[in-house]
């Protein structure tokens, strides 16, 4: 694995020791960033279930200002730190060992708002949509934030739920990627319409 493009292009990244972590391949990573970027003019990214940290590191390399990396496994945390050091991006990153649900609570208390989220839970979990709705409820997403959801290709998530709208889906063998945009404008427009109707009475 390596950083595909940007300021840290070509820098090698370690895999997490053992077989419990499933890193996103360079080919899929390149495809993801061609769909959402490929480059960024600042912003804050969250890499939840970060594993090697490859996606968050790629986002930093391509122009994100900061990234927060979360994983529950000690080996992953150690690997993420090593990879950030190899990419010379450690000063732009925060790395925390925690499970996803508790991490989101902690991030809410610290007042985070993310422009880009990478969500790659273990394939046995089918709760990507629940986690996204939880992020929205906790105010962790900026308007028009993008969420990159990676999951098993035999499973299907809804095209729309809450304020999330799928703008692109692609499949690569056993892996599927769906890109969701968080857009509250529709709800705001509905509220305005209701107010206008009320005023007309």
For the segment 38-58, what is each residue's pLDDT rounded down to a tens digit? 999 999 999 999 999 999 999
Q: What per-residue confidence (pLDDT) applies to 185?
A: 72
Domain membership flag for residue 17: no
63 has pLDDT over 80: yes
- How many structural domains is the chain composed of? 1
Domain membership flag for residue 118: yes
Q: How far apart are CA 12 and CA 19, in angstroms?
A: 19
Domain membership flag for residue 106: yes
CB 182 within 8 A of CB 115: no
pLDDT (tens digit per residue) in 139-188: 999 999 999 999 999 999 999 999 999 999 999 999 999 999 999 875 54
Domain membership flag for residue 11: no
- CB neighbour list of residue 159: distance below 8 Å, 6 or more residues apart: 165, 166
194 has pLDDT over 80: no
Domain membership flag for residue 186: yes
Helix (H, G, I), strand (E, B) or coil at 182: strand
The DSSP secondary-structure symbol of 116 reads E
Q: How far apart are CA 169 and CA 32, in angstroms?
A: 10
- What is the bridge-based pairing of β-strands 44-48 and 66-71? parallel
Q: What per-residue confidence (pLDDT) applies to 20?
A: 67
Nearest Cα to Cα of residue 150 among 27, 62, 32: 32
Which carries the bigger pLDDT value, residue 84 or residue 28? 84
The mean-pLDDT minimum among 13-17, 94-98, 104-108 falls in: 13-17
> 């993801």: which residue's tokens?
32
> What's the whole-number mean pLDDT along residues 100-121?
96
Domain membership flag for residue 20: no
- Tell me if the pTM is above 0.85: yes
131 has pLDDT over 70: yes
The DSSP secondary-structure symbol of 17 reads S
CATH of the domain at 98: 3.40.50.150
Domain membership flag for residue 10: no
196 is in which domain, residue-wise?
Answer: 26-200
Domain membership flag for residue 15: no
């Amino acid at each position: 694995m390596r950083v595909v493009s940007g300021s840290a292009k070509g820098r090698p990244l370690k895999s997490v020791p053992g077989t419990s972590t499933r890193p996103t391949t360079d080919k899929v990573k390149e495809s993801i960033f061609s769909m959402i970027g490929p480059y960024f003019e600042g912003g804050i990214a969250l890499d939840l279930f970060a594993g090697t940290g490859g996606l968050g590191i790629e986002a930093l390399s391509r122009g994100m200002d900061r990234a927060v990396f979360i994983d529950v496994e000690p080996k992953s945390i150690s690997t993420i730190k090593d990879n950030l050091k190899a990419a010379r991006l450690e000063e732009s990153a925060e790395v925390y060992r925690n499970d996803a649900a508790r991490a989101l609570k902690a991030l809410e208390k610290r007042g985070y708002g993310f422009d880009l989220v990478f969500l790659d839970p273990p394939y046995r979990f089918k709760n990507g949509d629940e986690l996204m709705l939880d992020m929205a409820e906790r105010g962790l997403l900026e308007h028009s934030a993008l969420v990159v959801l990676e999951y098993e290709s035999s499973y299907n998530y809804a095209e729309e739920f809450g304020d999330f709208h799928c703008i692109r889906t692609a499949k690569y063998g056993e892996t599927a990627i769906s890109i969701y945009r968080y857009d509250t404008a529709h709800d705001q427009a509905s509220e305005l319409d209701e107010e206008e109707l009320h005023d007309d009475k």
